[in-house]
Structure 1
Amino acid sequence: MKDKMLEIKQNLNLANYTTMKLGGAAQHFATLNDEAEIPELMKFAKNQNLPIFILGGGSNTIVGDAGFAGLVIKNEILGRKIAYEDETSVEFDLGAGENWDKFVHYAVDKKNLSGAEAMVMIPGTVGALPIQNVGAYGQETSDIFVSLKAYNLETGKFETLDAEACEFGYRDSIFRAHASGKYIITSVRLKLFKKPPTPPYYAAIEKYFTDRDIALEDVTTQEIMNAVVKIRSNKLPNPNEIASSGSFFKNAIITSEKASELRQEFGENIPLFALENGDYKIATGWMIDKAALRGKMIHGMRPHSGNALVLTNISAKNYADLAAARTEIQQKVFEKFGIKIEQEPLEI
């Protein structure tokens, strides 16, 4: 179908649109370049009684072998403008289809702004940020989030949602819970800062500088971003060479009692991070490693040798291979630690 320059394709292989390179076809597929196109897409879906799935960069999406019997909309809405600026901060309105990593480089390299420098090299688009409260190395979306604009599929109207309305949690939000499939995010407003960051920093970042005898108080925003680039480059596979979805499992949240139990059994150097509510976050990659799964081929999938949290697709041919590998990893980790680990990417 082609109507008003809006093309809807049929039976498009979604494996080509996700970084894991698995999955079946979309019954219908359209690229969204402007929010003004949404009503026409909604009309098409309604007339054929089709479910809708919104796809961004495909780095946080796993597609089943059956594909998607509905309309997949690839969000490529672009745009970057300053919405507000004062002596201490700058707020940007960003199109949901904007490349996130490119924006981080722009914010740091061109504008010398802080707040997102540790989230460099995270693949995907801006629209994915609030969905799972994307974060890395001590920073996350909720720290810099102001609001978003989204089309409500139920009411057919645009809405503005602030941070409270998004109900951010660890790699979580309403968009992964009770509002899943309810909205098409068209733009996101983020607030970055003119003041450079100050310690304490995430442990891996601090270690990077202390190993080089660089005082943490003297570190610049640019240097933190560059450090994270080097750290991630050493730990993550090259996405141009190896298929993956980045971090495939969430870091697990455990109680203080469970943390004490693990310290007694495995020693004091367990990678635990205290949370404000008294619970702890434990590095799931460390658990996968201790379960002797790092670098092991499992149904064509392999926990990456540089970071076992990253599940890479070496020779898997279908979603069934991935599902079998995921189950085996979850079982092995539970057997050793008594902790259930959860998948991070969304599935369709």
Structure 2
Amino acid sequence: MHIQANYSLLKHNTFHVDVSSQYYVEINKQSDILTLRTDVKLASLPWRIIGDGSNLLFTHDFQGLTLRCSYNKIRVVKEDNENVWLTVGAGVKWHDLVKYSVENNWWGLENLALIPGSVGAAPVQNIGAYGAEAQDVITRVQTLNVFDGQHREFRNAECNFGYRTSIFKQEYINRLMVFRITVRLRKFASGKPNLSYEPLRDSFRDIINKDSITPKMVFDRVVEIRKQRVPDPAVEGNAGSFFKNPVVDADYFKQLQEQNPDLPHHKMLDGTYKIPAAWMIEQCDLKGKHIGAAGVSAQHALVIVNLGGAKGNELVELSQQVQEAVNHKFGVYLEPEVIIL
């Protein structure tokens, strides 16, 4: 464990915003927290937990201690004829875990390919894409309390998973660090592809025998679709979807549909309607708009990008202009999916 002072977080956020933390440390075992707490100066500072910064937008330097979990082991802890259970360290790259699963021909993670970030951030955000979410496979989440180092395990039902949220993003933010997760995956003969996402399903129309589809094939199609739809963070700094897709009640949806007959939507089980935020942003003629180095991606309107050298506050200002435009035109508030710090 090495404590670094005045540490740049540039390489720890996919927006490529250059801010610093007063102190920075990576931990890989429970005792590291107890050791840090014995330092009177460090213990008196605010502590903040990050992963790979793929869903964070930094707006200023942090006068405190930034912690990141670097524990990166993957182990098979149990299996039966149909399933396999893995424990995965929070420091593992999420996409590396997905690749590991499809290389072993296991179902469950293939739809979540190419999502940037660490395994530790997956349950916090309840990451999701193409008809799948982290909560579909996570059975347990092991955490460490950053105040006393105590271990606590959460079963899936205790995580309060929701649309891009969880108990770790709400009640326990910066209090509990995800240390490792347990996922249950299906062996090839016991699973089947999740093709609920229409563009993904359409990409397999040429395959008559759907039983021949493998996790690797789904993985490859997801990677292909994602590269076409979402700008590469290495080229244009971004955190993927900046806003959540808004959900409106049936009465307001009917009103919106009367005004916009071509309104795309997805009816939810509770009778509400989810509307694509990207479509709303496009209708406001904001796709490709930029203010200085802060821009709305010309590739996908739901993505706000750093075109080079943008400060966090400039990206926030642009996001607020997008919110105001959509609210003015549709009377709908776009809630950020990205955590602004």
Contact 1:199 1:217 in 2 (8 A): no
- Distance, in Å, in 2 between the alignment partners of 1:23 and 1:256 is 43
TM-score normalised by length of structure 2: 0.93
- Distance, in Å, in 2 between the alignment partners of 1:23 and 1:12 is 10
Q: Which amino acid counterpart does residue 33 of structure 2 have in structure 1?
A: I
- Distance, in Å, in 1 between the alignment partners of 2:202 and 2:252 is 27
Contact 2:33 2:148 in 1 (8 A): no
> How many percent of aligned residue pairs carry the same amino acid?
29
SS in 1 for 2:244: coil
- 1:8-47 to 2 correspondence within 5 Å? 8-44=3-39
- 1:84-233 to 2 correspondence within 5 Å? 84-108=78-102, 110-194=103-187, 195-198=190-193, 201-210=196-205, 212=206, 218-233=212-227
1:319 to 290, 312, 316: 312
- Distance, in Å, in 2 between the alignment partners of 1:139 and 1:34 is 31
Correspondence 1:331 to 2:324: yes
- Distance, in Å, in 1 between the alignment partners of 2:201 and 2:135 is 22
Post-superposition CA distance 1:111-162 (Å, at most 9, x none): 1111111100000010001101111011001111100111123554101111
- Distance, in Å, in 1 between the alignment partners of 2:267 and 2:315 is 32
Contact 2:10 2:19 in 1 (8 A): yes
- Distance, in Å, in 2 between the alignment partners of 1:215 and 1:7 is 54
Gaps of 5+ in 1: 1-5
SS in 2 for 1:243: coil
Q: Which amino acid counterpart does residue 90 of structure 1 have in structure 2?
A: V
Contact 1:147 1:188 in 2 (8 A): yes
SS in 1 for 2:3: strand
- Distance, in Å, in 2 between the alignment partners of 1:258 and 1:209 is 36
Instruction: State the Cα distance separating 1:293 from its structure 2 match.
Output: 0.8
Instruction: State the Cα distance separating 1:285 from its structure 2 match.
Output: 1.2
Give 2:272's aligned residue.
Answer: 279
- Distance, in Å, in 2 between the alignment partners of 1:247 and 1:41 is 35
Contact 2:33 2:146 in 1 (8 A): no
1:63 to 40, 58, 61: 58
- 1:238-277 to 2 correspondence within 5 Å? 238-268=232-262, 270-277=263-270
- Distance, in Å, in 1 between the alignment partners of 2:136 and 2:267 is 18
Q: Which amino acid counterpart does residue 102 of structure 1 have in structure 2?
A: D
When the two structures are aligned, how many residues end up with a matched partner? 339
Post-superposition CA distance 1:75-110 (Å, at most 9, x none): 2111000111111111100000001101111101x2
SS in 2 for 1:231: helix
Contact 1:118 1:138 in 2 (8 A): yes
Contact 1:19 1:58 in 2 (8 A): yes
Contact 1:45 1:51 in 2 (8 A): no
Contact 1:299 1:324 in 2 (8 A): no
SS in 2 for 1:325: helix
Give 2:282's aligned residue.
Answer: 289
Instruction: State the Cα distance separating 1:17 from its structure 2 match.
Output: 1.7
- Distance, in Å, in 2 between the alignment partners of 1:336 and 1:242 is 28
SS in 2 for 1:83: strand
CA gap of 1:207–1:91, structure 2 versus 1, over 3 A, is same
- Distance, in Å, in 2 between the alignment partners of 1:32 and 1:243 is 26
SS in 2 for 1:334: helix
CA gap of 1:152–1:34, structure 2 versus 1, over 3 A, is closer
Contact 1:51 1:70 in 2 (8 A): yes
CA gap of 1:198–1:17, structure 2 versus 1, over 3 A, is closer
Instruction: State the Cα distance separating 1:316 from its structure 2 match.
Output: 4.8
Instruction: State the Cα distance separating 1:222 from its structure 2 match.
Output: 2.1
Aligned-residue CA RMSD in angstroms?
Answer: 1.9
Contact 1:130 1:142 in 2 (8 A): yes
Gaps of 5+ in 2: none
SS in 2 for 1:288: helix
Q: Which amino acid counterpart does residue 192 of structure 1 have in structure 2?
A: L
Contact 1:93 1:187 in 2 (8 A): yes
CA gap of 1:155–1:133, structure 2 versus 1, over 3 A, is same
- Distance, in Å, in 1 between the alignment partners of 2:209 and 2:56 is 40
